[in-house]
């Protein structure tokens, strides 16, 4: 049986509309679950940056992530002068409106701060790279780094999220002995081949074939650390005052 062109067009239009409605409905219904999963992923990586990770070969359940996060992590927002902003949480920040406010996290135990965690993000080669860096309370020594979301080249730039790469940051220093920000630079090749031993505290080995990804991390890491420098200065000044 043959159909007219008008019938064919009506049929195609009906199928298109029905599919569009179904897709829009599915996206709306799944949005809360997607948001919750994204939040859990963020919290899992904040925990990982301070060394709270499951045993090798195992994973945390959603309930375990929520429990560990609540027990160990405190959330704050600071301004560009390093002052804590009351009445707002990191999740309530609007990137378009709150350009001079930054999320900050602390790992605490029995009310004592053990480490400071800050988000780091920026352009790699193909994508925006997201991660977290945890620092000792000296605001200088790295405890851990996690890169958890990106679209870099598999087998090359994507290696930034492996423990063999991120593990290099542990113990490195973001500032010199005088407190001046130096950041931590990914070199091309091996640190030992190009950097003097006394300066090696501020460098990590690069990934073969991922020079541009490493260059992107170097740029945004230094930029993000600068945002938190006023806060670091206040923390260290308070420490000195308490010790007098």
Domain coordinates of the chain in residue numbers?
A: 72-243
Q: What is the pLDDT of residue 11?
A: 64
Q: What is the pLDDT of residue 185?
A: 96
pTM for the full predicted model: 0.84
What residues of the chain score a pLDDT lower than 50? 30
Query: What distance in Å separates the CA atoms of residue 161 and residue 147, rounded to the nearest whole number?
Result: 5
Q: What is the pLDDT of residue 16?
A: 76
Q: What is the pLDDT of residue 22?
A: 62
Q: What is the pLDDT of residue 32?
A: 55
Query: What distance in Å separates the CA atoms of residue 119 and residue 170, rounded to the nearest whole number?
Result: 16
Q: What is the pLDDT of residue 179?
A: 87
Compute CA distances 84 → 18, 68, 90, 102, 219, whole Å.
50, 24, 12, 10, 26
Of 183, 137, 149, 156, residue with least CA distance to 46: 149
């Amino acid at each position: 049986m043959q159909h007219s062109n008008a019938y064919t067009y009506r049929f195609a239009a009906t199928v298109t509309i029905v599919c569009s409605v179904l897709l829009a409905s599915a996206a709306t219904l799944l949005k809360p679950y997607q948001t919750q999963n994204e939040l859990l992923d963020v919290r899992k990586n904040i925990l990982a940056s301070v060394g709270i990770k499951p045993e090798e070969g195992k994973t945390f359940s959603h309930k375990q992530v929520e429990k560990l996060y609540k027990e160990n992590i405190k959330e704050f927002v600071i301004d560009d002068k390093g002052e804590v902003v009351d009445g707002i949480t990191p999740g309530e920040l609007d990137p378009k409106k709150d350009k001079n406010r930054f999320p900050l996290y602390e790992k605490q135990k029995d009310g004592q701060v053990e480490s400071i965690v800050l988000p780091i993000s920026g352009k790699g080669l193909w994508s925006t790279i997201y991660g977290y860096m945890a620092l000792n309370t000296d605001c200088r020594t790295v405890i851990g780094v996690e890169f958890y979301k990106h679209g870099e080249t598999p087998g090359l730039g994507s290696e930034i999220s492996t423990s063999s790469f991120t593990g290099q940051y542990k113990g490195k220093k973001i500032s010199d002995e005088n407190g001046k920000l130096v950041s931590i630079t990914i070199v091309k090749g091996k640190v030992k081949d190009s950097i003097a031993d006394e300066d090696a505290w501020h460098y990590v080995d690069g990934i073969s074939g991922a020079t541009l990804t490493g260059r992107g991390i170097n740029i945004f890491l230094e930029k993000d650390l600068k945002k938190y420098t006023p806060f670091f200065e206040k923390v260290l000044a308070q420490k000195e005052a308490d010790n007098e």
